[in-house]
Amino acid sequence: MAEGRRLDGWRVIVTGASRGIGRAIAIACAAEGATVGINFHRSRDAASSLADQLGAAGVLLPFDVGNVAEVTSAFDAFVERTGGLDALVNNAAVVHPSLLVAAADEDVGAMVRTNLLGTVACTRAALPVMLRQRRGVIVNVGSIAASRPCRGQAVYAATKAAVQALAAAVDVEYARKGIRCEWLAPGPVDTDMLAPTLAMAGRGALDSVDLGELMTPEVVAAQVVERLLARNDAGSSTDRVSPQALYALMSSRRSIRRFTAEMPPREAIESVLAAAVTAPSASNKQPWRFIVVSNAATITRMADAVRGAVDRIARVVDPAFEPAFRAYGDYFTRFEHAPIVIVPICRALTVLSNMTLPQIGKDDAAAIAQMERDSGLIGTSLAVQNLLLAAHAAGLGASGMTGPLVAVEAIRGILDIAPSWHVVALVPIGYADEQPEPTARKAAARVTQWIE
């Protein structure tokens, strides 16, 4: 493999790849090291010529995107041959310019079938593979016509707007499973498909979108490659999360306490922890440490200790409340069947207390001591929140549990945690074996006081 190719090892299907934008995308992906599935419907000669050009990097995939059975069969064949699917570029489209009232029914049907339903079919074929891999990227090639159509583009523009909406919806649904869906809306591109549009709307149509010069397929292809790689570099200044996407991630997270037996890969846990330590902390002291427990016997010992503590406490609870307490205490051991339990710990920040003289007032000393204890705890709690969100985004289930801390001293002994460290919570993590319903949340207005 050539050094420095950014898509080395990727397996990519490009629909409508025999000519125009799709051909340029296939060439660009192969140039970056990907194995490319070259989809075509009728243009076999052009597709075969491209496959010859790409050599071992090109795999011919003859299918009609509007035929679900053909799509499924072709995707299965590609995955069987290459071992997986890292990316799908939904590019296939047709255009039949016409004023809406004069449009032939068959032309309307063809555009909806290929541009929209074909994109849906290919996306549905790709998702099961990507869900098994717990990763994947889908890029839908839209068009500026979705927002700024020219004369004769009513149906075409509608299908492209739908394709862009589909990308946003798929991203919301599957981002937490490690699957990203993006779209781009290029302006008029110098391909054979543009000719009938210009024939109807005239070249003045270019002025109506303030672009003047036509884009080339190669420019669009380069944009697609960047979309495939977007967010891979966490330090990129262009890696911005929209408020809507962030809210969707936060609001869709659930506390998971039932897990499958499958052990998450170590790199997935390391990635989650890397997100945790980006949390803010007082004076940037980062007072946290994380103990990752994957030893089943150790997890069982912790659960037994919690169970024992619950039983001891239950014997001195008001008899009227004992059944309720035992039912509540049952939740405290739900971490027992998680493949991994992360134990965040912290210690107080002794910054101000180390500066003060013995003659400091009692109230001030107490306030400083509490502030230093709380600062460590708050900073680590923010790290735990980052951890939970990162786990959710990576397709893992997790929850922050403080109930088990009824046995905190026993847990401290089992894990050999020094007395100076505070155990913040237990965080079971793994692949979810439940889908909890969303819990009711108090409206922000109910819990907010404005002092103006």
Cα distance between residue 22 and residue 119, in whole Å: 14
Task: Check whether 235 has a pLDDT greater than 70.
Answer: no
Do 175 and 252 form a contact (C-beta atoms < 8 A)?
no
CA atoms within 13 A on the CB side of 169: 9
Q: Which residue has the higher pLDDT, 297 or 188?
A: 297
Average pLDDT for 221-230? 88
Task: Check whether 1 has a pLDDT greater than 90.
Answer: no
Do 163 and 142 form a contact (C-beta atoms < 8 A)?
yes
Burial-class residue 232 by CB neighbours within 10 Å (0-12, 13-18, 19+).
Answer: exposed
Tens digits of residue pLDDT in 149-207: 888 889 999 999 999 999 999 998 998 888 999 988 887 887 777 767 777 766 555 55
Average pLDDT for 18-45? 95
Lowest-pLDDT range, 2-16, 219-233, 358-372?
Answer: 219-233
Which domains does the chain carry? 11-240 (3.40.50.720), 253-447 (3.40.109.10)
Q: What integer pLDDT is reported at residue 176 of this predicted model? A: 82
Does 156 participate in catalysis according to the annotation?
yes
Average pLDDT for 72-91? 96
Q: Which residue has the higher pLDDT, 280 or 208?
A: 280
Average pLDDT for 327-352? 90
Lowest-pLDDT range, 113-122, 174-183, 224-233?
Answer: 224-233
**Which of 184, 185, 182 is closest to 171 using CA atoms?**
182
Q: What integer pLDDT is reported at residue 211 of this predicted model? A: 45
- Residue/partner pairs of 414-419 with CB below 8 Å, 24 or more apart: 414/298, 414/301, 414/302, 414/305, 415/291, 415/293, 415/298, 415/302, 415/343, 417/291, 417/343, 417/345
Cα distance between residue 37 and residue 365, in whole Å: 69
Burial-class residue 103 by CB neighbours within 10 Å (0-12, 13-18, 19+).
Answer: middle
Average pLDDT for 213-228? 86
Cα distance between residue 40 and residue 29, in whole Å: 17
**178: its two tokens:** 């490690």
Tens digits of residue pLDDT in 95-113: 998 899 999 999 999 999 9
Task: Check whether 3 has a pLDDT greater than 70.
Answer: no
Task: Check whether 335 has a pLDDT greater than 90.
Answer: yes
Lowest-pLDDT range, 6-20, 358-372, 409-423?
Answer: 358-372
Tens digits of residue pLDDT in 364-410: 988 988 888 888 899 999 999 999 999 998 889 999 999 999 999 99
Q: Are strands 87-90 and 136-141 parallel, antiparallel or unpaired?
A: parallel
Lowest-pLDDT range, 2-6, 65-69, 323-327?
Answer: 2-6
Q: What integer pLDDT is reported at residue 238 of this predicted model? A: 36
Catalytic entry in 156, 174, 247, 431: 156
Cα distance between residue 420 and residue 415, in whole Å: 14
Burial-class residue 360 by CB neighbours within 10 Å (0-12, 13-18, 19+).
Answer: middle
What is the rounded average pLDDT for all residues in the chain? 89
Q: What integer pLDDT is reported at residue 239 of this predicted model? A: 42
Q: Which residue has the higher pLDDT, 151 or 337?
A: 337
Confidence of residue 244 (pLDDT cuts 50, 70, 90): low
Confidence of residue 241 (pLDDT cuts 50, 70, 90): low
pTM for the model stands at: 0.54
Confidence of residue 215 (pLDDT cuts 50, 70, 90): confident
Confidence of residue 234 (pLDDT cuts 50, 70, 90): very low
In one letter, which amino acid is 314?
A
Cα distance between residue 413 and residue 407, in whole Å: 10
